[in-house]
Amino acid sequence: MLSAYLYRTRKSLLKRPLKFVLLLLALAMSVFMIFFPTLMAGEEDAVVRNPNVVLGGVSLVLIVMFNFMFFSGVKSGVIGFSQSDVNFHMAGPFSPKFNLIILVEGIIATCAILLWVLSCQVAVLYQLFGVSSADVIAILCGSALTMIIGFLISSFIGAKFAEDEKKKRNFLIGLAVVDILYVGAFVLTCMNKYGSFDTFKALGFKGIMAEFGTSVFSQVYPVAGWISLIYAGIVKNSLVYLIVGIALIVLTFVAIYLLYSKSELDYYETAIAYAQKVADIKEARKAGVDTDTANINRKIKVGKESLKTGWGANAFATMHFLQNARASKLFFVNSLGLMYRLICAVYMFIMSRSAGEDMGPMYYTVMGLTMITLLNVVVYGGGKTVLEFNKPYIFMVPESASSKLFYCLLADLPEIIFDSVLCAAIIWYFAKVKIFIAVGVFVMMIVFDYLCELVALIELRICRGLGRFLLMFVRYVLVYAILLIAIIPAAIVYNIVGSLMAFVLTMAGCGVIIIAVLLLASANIIDRVEFNS
Amino acid sequence: MLTVNGVTKKYKKFLANDNLSFTIADGEIGILLGPNGAGKSTIIKSIAGLLRYEGDIEINGIDNHELEAKKMLGYIPEMPALYDTLTIDEHLEFVRRAYKVEDTGIKEKLLERFELTDKRKKMGKELSKGMQQKVSICCALIHDPKVVIFDEPMVGLDPHAIKELKALFQELKAEGKTVLISTHMIDTIEDYWDVAHIMMNGKIAATKHNRPGSADEKSLDELFFQITEGSAAASTAAKKSEEEEA
């Protein structure tokens, strides 16, 4: 299966040299980031490596990766089979358990994307935990192993619950409760050890990480903890840790084998239904039409909402409002955006507790805004407006191109406003900036959210055939470049005026100018369309 | 009237349409016939303004990129492009409002005609391919276009819908509208067409007019197979049609 996948990838890369070059660039970026800690080792401001903090950090990353894979595996269940899998494998002389292995191919791409994203965060990991290049390699290898095991178990459970959404939801809630209890147990143990919560809190982020790294908690967490145990054995030269860790992982693989070979599975009906849907989507793409794949596994019902307003180009805005209202009672909430804001809040919390005391609000604001904007590449890279460009209506409706684009983008405004309020609140709370600066951040985020959306539109227009991974990579690079272009004048203004508000507003102003330039450069994005490219 | 003049479309090195020129007059039904990959969908998409090309395309004498031309054009794509979470009713309402068409009851008529009235509250993602195609046809007709282009319209439709669609072609023709239909299914074409362009490798290989009393000419079947498969296949098709007639 893997060799077939590699063969197809190799053939596809050779046919598209640009894709090959971009993939090489992405790999080079990854390699550079892996050796970033080695390059920093000789510098004056190098972060001192504390093995206990590192072990705590490695465990934390692996637990997060395991949870991500486990939750998404159980949730998505048996999605991922193609029509040819159905025709050749499910109808063929293979058991349902064996056929689940087919999904591994799909997971390879997801693993690759996650590992690349993780490798791009090495600078943050270095700043937080003081990791070395060897630690980074251990994190990447450990993450790959964690994800594979997590996938094998979760896809089995997902297949078991394929026919019963309620059971699946209850199981996921149960998992979340176990996670909460796990964190609670660690905090309570530490409180007992240090006497009070305040004393424990006074340890600071790195202290808590060191405590976690040396505690049994970092080693007992299923799969992720056991892989951490192996690395702890290597770091601490402990043969016991090493043997116990390896034995637990080997036993896990044996258990997975028994699970797959001894139990009965009946998931074909659900798998075939989803395979048909995926086939329809592929057919639609051949004809130049993309459907809203994000909703493949969601149950949306028709309620009391209706389409009673909108005339001409304005109908696009009201139609998008209707779709948003139908998808969620809180039509202004982007659920993916909310999740990413939570990640930002955790990141800002960790940064504010781990960075040196000499770092002021400016440092935290810049770090926070960079993180938020880069995450928005994902959140606003596939909004309703981007999807609208996959259907013919926006090109065919007899209204001016600019008005159609304007009304499509207008429909995203409630989501963007809500998101910008959250971003401003995060920066205000964690960077400890004044309220009027938070208002400036709010304005800046509205501009940058739209900027991310516009970059996605133009990128899809120019290099649509690159594929999911490379499209994301190119979008990241473009948004990084735009951030740099905006930060340089903002930093100059900050040095002259000395005001954080001036910095934020200059960033917003630069964003507006970049939007105007992008709009001018892509004026024919609707009029001179290439719908089937 | 639909005028296509010297249209060439390339996908990198591949020549999908090679200097195509044809005209379909008001009240005429034109057929684009050809095997898969002949370039039919490409020219249909170019007429709809969905592709960049070299040459000129005019809808009633107006460039097809102009807003006035767009108002007069109805396009039924090969693959129905519906919104997953909009109902059938909302699709038609959205297109009616976007095209600024007053509510004169045309929506109800179309829903009834294509037997969609009882399914009007179903969302796009809940519909079968055939149902989606019906909605797509309704959306394209709601603004009463002067020129209607169909890209493989019969695919996925049930026999009743095919019958309705053929009746619709005749009605559009009777109303003096220009109709262009692209298809590779020669069996589905009856005697309702006025002009047929047989496409091969991006070019129009032959054009046949449907004139009564032209018995000496080759039938559309013969002409099609002669072009696409050579003369041996054409004579087989001729024998078959003679047998059927007998």
Cβ(B51)–Cβ(B45) below 8 Å: yes
* pLDDT above 60: residue A296: no
C-alpha span between B211 and B225 (Å, rounded)? 20
Q: How near does any CA of chain A get to the CA of B244, in Å? A: 36
Looking at residue A218, its pLDDT comes to 84
pTM, two decimals, is: 0.73
pLDDT band at A443 (very low <50, low <70, confident <90, very high): very high
Cα-flanking dihedrals φ and ψ of residue B9, to 5°?
-130, 125
* pLDDT above 60: residue A283: no
Q: What is the DSSP string of A236-252?
A: TT-HHHHHHHHHHHHHH
B2, two tokens: 């639909």
Q: What is the DSSP string of chain B?
A: -EEEEEEEEEETTEEEEEEEEEEE-TT-EEEEE--TTSSHHHHHHHHTT-S--EEEEEETTEETTSHHHHHTEEEE-SS----TTSBHHHHHHHHHHHTT---SSHHHHHHHHTT-GGGTT-BGGGS-HHHHHHHHHHHHHTT--SEEEEESTTTT--HHHHHHHHHHHHHHHHTT-EEEEEES-GGG--S--SEEEEEETTEEEEEEE--TT-TTSPPHHHHHHHHHH-HHHHHHHHHHHHHHH-
Q: In sequence order, which residues have a C-beta less than 8 Å from that of residue B192 and are 6 or more positions away?
A: B29, B166, B169, B170, B173
What pLDDT digit, counting tens, does each position of A127-157 carry? Answer: 777 778 888 888 888 888 898 888 888 877 8
Q: What percent of chain A has pLDDT over 90?
A: 14
Q: Please compute the mean of the pLDDT values over residues A194-200 and round it to a whole number.
A: 81
Which residues from chain B sit within 8 angstroms of residue A390, using beta carbons? 81
Cβ(A208)–Cβ(A200) below 8 Å: yes
Looking at residue A290, its pLDDT comes to 46
> Of A116-125, A343-352, A498-507, which range is least confident?
A116-125
Q: Could you tell me which residue, A297 or B14, shows the higher pLDDT?
A: B14
CA distances from A239 to A59, A228, A253, A312, A367 (A): 19, 14, 21, 73, 40
Which residues from chain B sit within 8 angstroms of residue A316, using beta carbons? 98
Which range among A41-55, A114-128, A469-483, B160-174 has the greatest average pLDDT?
B160-174
pLDDT band at B91 (very low <50, low <70, confident <90, very high): very high
Cα-flanking dihedrals φ and ψ of residue B148, to 5°?
-120, 130
CA distances from B191 to A183, A466, B29, B220, B236 (A): 76, 45, 10, 10, 21
CA distances from A89 to A266, A493, B69 (A): 15, 63, 50
Q: Could you tell me which residue, A526 or B116, shows the higher pLDDT?
A: B116
* pLDDT above 50: residue B174: yes
Which residues from chain B sit within 8 angstroms of residue A310, using beta carbons? 94, 97-98
Cβ of A312 and B87 within 8 Å?
no
Cβ(A375)–Cβ(A419) below 8 Å: no
Q: Choose the mutation target among A307, A320, A328, A461 for the interface with B, i.e. most B CBs under 10 Å.
A: A307
Q: Could you tell me which residue, B38 or A121, shows the higher pLDDT?
A: B38
Q: Could you tell me which residue, B220 or A311, shows the higher pLDDT?
A: A311
Cβ of B70 and A396 within 8 Å?
yes
| Contacts made by residues B64-69, CB under 8 angstroms, sequence distance 24+ | B65/A527, B67/A398, B67/A399, B67/A400, B68/A398
Looking at residue A474, its pLDDT comes to 83
Cβ(A274)–Cβ(A81) below 8 Å: yes
C-alpha span between B94 and A410 (Å, rounded)? 17
pLDDT band at A286 (very low <50, low <70, confident <90, very high): very low
Q: Which residue of B has its CA nearest to A387?
A: B83
* pLDDT above 90: residue A125: no
* pLDDT above 90: residue B223: no
Q: Please compute the mean of the pLDDT values over residues B150-175 and round it to a whole number.
A: 87
Angle at B222 between CA B219 and CA B224, to 5 degrees: 105
Q: What is the DSSP string of A306-351?
A: ------TTHHHHHHHHHHHHHH-SSTT--HHHHHHHHHHHHHHHHH
* pLDDT above 50: residue B92: yes
Q: In sequence order, which residues have a C-beta less than 8 Å from that of residue A193 and are 6 or more positions away?
A: A200
C-alpha span between B27 and B10 (Å, rounded)? 31
**Judging by beta carbons within 10 Å of its beta carbon (0-12, 13-18, 19+), is residue A254 exposed, middle or buried?**
exposed
Nearest to B87 among A302, A315, A395 (CB): A302
CA distances from A344 to A63, A420, A447 (A): 18, 13, 18
Looking at residue A101, its pLDDT comes to 66
What pLDDT digit, counting tens, does each position of A45-72 carry? Answer: 667 778 888 888 888 888 988 888 888 7
Q: Could you tell me which residue, A231 or B234, shows the higher pLDDT?
A: A231
* ipTM attached to this prediction: 0.88
- Residue type for position A111: C
C-alpha span between A289 and A358 (Å, rounded)? 53
Cβ of A287 and B77 within 8 Å?
yes
pLDDT band at A442 (very low <50, low <70, confident <90, very high): very high
Cβ(B139)–Cβ(B86) below 8 Å: no
B67 Cβ under 8 Å from any chain A Cβ? yes
* pLDDT above 50: residue A291: no
Q: Please compute the mean of the pLDDT values over residues A94-102 and round it to a whole number.
A: 69
User: Which DSSP state fits A30?
Assistant: H
Q: What is the mean pLDDT of chain A?
A: 80
What pLDDT digit, counting tens, does each position of A203-253 carry? Answer: 777 788 888 888 888 888 999 999 998 988 888 888 898 999 999 999 999
pLDDT band at A160 (very low <50, low <70, confident <90, very high): confident
Cβ of B52 and A286 within 8 Å?
no
> Of A68-82, A244-258, A334-348, A420-434, which range is least confident?
A68-82
Q: How near does any CA of chain A get to the CA of B126, in Å? A: 11
Which residues from chain B sit within 8 angstroms of residue A311, using beta carbons? 97, 100
